[in-house]
Amino acid sequence: MSHRPDHLRNMLHILVRRDTTLHQRLYEATKEFSAAWLHRKEWPEDLLHRAQQISKTLTANGKPIDTIVGMDTPAAADLAQKLADFVVAIEAVKARRTESRAHRAIPRSKQRPMAGAPRQPFASG
């Protein structure tokens, strides 16, 4: 998950806008999903599986536009929610990776124990 346009975040922003219909937002969001799909090898296996299910839904009637046009509002809302949930899950993975890298960058002598972790008693002299 490197420094390139963040298509998934763009997708989330599109989905939450209220300036167009749900179906229009969903169609625009799928363009960002398709662009992000090119980098799917970077996604964890469980999220890749979720993305494949979303992709399968989007192409159920051929092209995504054909699928979206054929959806009733509850189905479109369900798909939009799945897309949004997917973005949130990817962002959580990114945050954990960043936190892990930051933690490894701190010298051991400067690291603080995690909350609730047992503390090492001072050695008696």
In a domain, 123, yes or no: no
Tokens encoding 105: 């960058």
CA 31 to each of CA 46, 78, 91, 107: distance values in angstroms, whole numbers, following the listed order: 22, 18, 19, 43
Range of the domain at 13: 7-110
Q: Is a pLDDT exceeding 70 seen at residue 37?
A: yes
Q: Which of 7-21, 70-84, 88-102 has the lowest mean pLDDT?
A: 88-102
In a domain, 45, yes or no: yes
In a domain, 115, yes or no: no
Residues 44-84 have pLDDT tens digits of: 999 999 999 999 999 999 999 999 999 999 999 999 999 99
Give residue 102's pLDDT.
63
Tokens encoding 101: 């890298």
What is the longest distance spanned by two Cα atoms in the chain?
Answer: 77
What domain count does the chain have? Answer: 1
In a domain, 103, yes or no: yes
Long-range contacts (CB closer than 8 Å, 24 or more residues apart) made by 95-102: 97/1
In a domain, 122, yes or no: no
Q: Is a pLDDT exceeding 80 seen at residue 6?
A: yes
- What's the pTM value of the predicted model, to 2 decimals? 0.75
